Chain A
Amino acid sequence: MDRSILRNELTCLEKSAYEIYGGGCVKLPKTLRVYLISGKMDIAAWMEYRVNFLLYLIAGAVMRLLTPIVVYLIYYNGLTFPGWDFYQVFFLVGTFTFVRGFSSFITSSVAWWSNEMIHNGTFDKLLIRPMSPMKQLIIRETELDESSGLILGIILVIFSLYKMDVPIDAYNFALYVWFMILGIVFISSFDILSGALNFIFVKTDSIKDLFWESSMFGKYPLTIYGVIGHAIFTFAIPFGLLAFYPAEAFFGRMESTLFVQLNLITLAFLSVSLVMWKYAMTRYTSVGG
């Protein structure tokens, strides 16, 4: 890629930060400006290796397309989830894909990059800059492959809504959005917790893997896991927030008592992860040299 073009783009990008609000009266927040420039740099770095970049985008899209295909095959073969029709499950899967994709945009790099950077000592450079290390980890890359998850999630949700042809209740829709936010916060809390453990045990990528794979439990209606499974994925490890509870809220089937409980559980996860992160940073040892 022509370097001068990239430089011009960077400059233009910064200019646009002023121009968005009408020609330089208001400046975008610094974090957003850093994110935009980091994002550009990340994409530019990816594009240096064109074949890999292309394969990366295609692989991300193909992997995510597998989920709706599996759901289709399940129903095509006459298997069903009790209480959920075909398009409701599509709605569920779409919500799950969107929530996981969105949370990956935000905090997955906290878990992955802290693992890498603490292991090789390059976390030092985040500590010498005038911005919190967590913020820098969050904005350090664009998570391009997750964009396919986001787009697919939105398409699945809109498609299933269109096919179900149900009226959208504003209150239920607001609850749906709120529970999706709780789901994103829950995954982000785990990313932060996983990142914090890296400071103590240096390499903990298997914990993140375990959580990420286990979160698949949240892709299907919790009712299929029996009473104990349902309780575990609601109160202990609330994977139900990734799709089941937002969908239940959307369809107006949510028990009101759960609203407060799920909010409190998510808040507890977030608080514990932030406290752990703050403590764990004091244990950072860097590497020699």
Chain B
Amino acid sequence: METAIKVSGLAKEYKTYSREESFRASIRSLFKRDFKIKHALKGIDFEIKTGEVIGLIGPNGAGKSTAIKVLCGVLYPTSGEVKSLGYVPWKQRQEYAYNFGVVFGQKSQLAWDIPPNDTYHLLKVLYDIPEETFKRRLAHMVKLLSLEDIYKRPTRGLSLGERMKCEVVAALLHKPKLVLLDEPTIGMDVVAKKQLHNFIKQINKDYNTTFIITTHDMQDIEKLCKRVIIINTGDIVYDGPLADLCKKYVTNKLIEVRFEEKTHVSLPKRCTLIDKTPYTIKFEVPLKNNKLDPFVAKLVGEYPVADITISDPDIEEIIRDIYQHGTR
């Protein structure tokens, strides 16, 4: 597979200032400010192949949005190199713009007082899209995202979820080779989310479009991304397949047991009880050398077990653990 993006030693620093909350501090800040350098990105490296769907995740303030903004040429980096689709984003901004699309969850591309459809017509001219192609593409996307009754209504009257779907259309009208989605499912209900997931999969399959998705919703990651990059305090703490992340960082197994009759079980100290009724018990056991705890075998052998389920913890929990404790 061809390389779509190559990032080496990418660093971005911001100068920020802070002050106390008092009015006196406000007056003082007029004359003297306490500046700090914030290292939003600390020299990160990664490579993305054409057609990949990557999840870029991390806690708030980790540097995800900064990375996205550098990748689309909005921000100049402090140091490092980026080659995206053969362009240096912040230097060849206009030529590069024809090749990528971006959705910023918090910032709208759409004109507020008039329907998204009008913005689409403006984008048609901006991106030199031929009339027929424009009509065909718009109709296709409107159908896939069920926007028939939505895209002709003024943007200000749309719900956040509806607006996000319209934003996605705006970002994809010019058929970009690379799409950067910054929290695309924000405000969407389960149906809309599913539609968007299917839409992204479809576009990726049909056109081999590369997607980078930042999100706090692990469902987006599980449904769409085979590979994840976890970024925390400006550093990449994990870059690899989602499946490996589970294998590598799963330290516990979740055990759910249903008994044939009322049963009392005493758990060893190493297990963590989650829930218990006279007929059921739910607990976590630690994995030792990637092997299941012998207590589980004992449980099946010595107690009247009707059913047992052994599963991994939620991906969300694994990610939360990495955010809080780092990688091992």
Contacts and interface: CB of A to CB of B under 8 A. Distances in A.
Interface of A: 3-4, 6-7, 10-11, 14, 30, 33-34, 37-38, 41, 44-45, 48-49, 121-122, 124-125, 127-132, 282, 284-286, 288-289
B114 A41 contact: yes
Nearest to B180: A128
B154 A48 contact: yes
A14 B14 CA distance: 43
Given A122-B107, A130-B126, A6 B94 contact: no
A81 to B, nearest CB: 42
A263 to B, nearest CB: 31
Given A286-B74, A288-B65, A131 B126 contact: yes
B94 A41 contact: no
A44 B107 contact: no
Interface string B47-73: 000000000000001000100010011
Interface of B: 14, 61, 65, 69, 72-76, 93-95, 97-98, 100, 102, 104-109, 111-115, 117-119, 121-122, 125-128, 131, 152-154
Given A41-B118, A130-B127, A286 B75 contact: yes
A250 B75 CA distance: 48
Contacts of B75: 284-286
A109 to B, nearest CB: 15
Given A3-B152, A124-B69, 11 more contacts: A3-B117, A7-B118, A7-B121, A34-B122, A37-B121, A41-B119, A124-B104, A128-B73, A286-B74, A288-B65, A289-B107
A121 B118 contact: no
A14 B130 CA distance: 12
A229 to B, nearest CB: 32
Contact of A130 (B94, B107, B114, B121): B94
B64 to A, nearest CB: 10
A41 B117 CA distance: 11
A37 B73 contact: no
A131 B94 contact: yes
B59 to A, nearest CB: 13
B125 A130 contact: no
Contacts of B118: 6-7, 10, 41, 44
A37 B122 contact: yes
22 contacts: A3-B115, A3-B117, A3-B152, A3-B153, A4-B152, A6-B115, A7-B152, A10-B118, A14-B131, A30-B126, A34-B125, A124-B69, A128-B73, A128-B74, A130-B95, A130-B98, A284-B76, A285-B14, A285-B75, A286-B74, A288-B61, A289-B107
Name which of B65, B100, B104, B105 has the most chain A CB atoms within 10 A of its CB: B104
Contacts of A285: 14, 75
Contacts of B153: 3
Nearest to B109: A125
B106 to A, nearest CB: 4
Given A3-B152, A7-B118, A130-B126, A286 B111 contact: no
B102 A128 contact: yes
Nearest to B113: A45
Contacts of A7: 117-118, 121, 152
Contacts of A125: 104, 107-109
Contact of A129 (B76, B97, B104, B131): B97
B316 to A, nearest CB: 21
A3 to B, nearest CB: 5
A34 to B, nearest CB: 5
A11 B124 CA distance: 11
Contact of A10 (B109, B121, B126, B128): B121
B122 A282 contact: no
A45 B115 CA distance: 10
Name which of B94, B100, B152 has the most chain A CB atoms within 10 A of its CB: B94
Contacts of B154: 48
A131 B98 CA distance: 10
A168 to B, nearest CB: 41
8 pairs of A and B residues whose beta carbons are closest in the complex: A45-B113, A130-B97, A289-B106, A127-B74, A48-B113, A282-B76, A10-B121, A124-B74
A38 B111 CA distance: 10
A45 B125 contact: no
Contacts of B61: 288
Contacts of B152: 3-4, 7
Nearest to B65: A289
Contact of A284 (B74, B102, B105, B112): B74
Nearest to B128: A30
B308 to A, nearest CB: 45
A37 B125 CA distance: 9
Contacts of A132: 94
A83 to B, nearest CB: 47
Given A33-B125, A128-B72, A284-B75, A44 B114 contact: yes
Contacts of A10: 118, 121
Contacts of B122: 34, 37-38, 41
B130 to A, nearest CB: 12
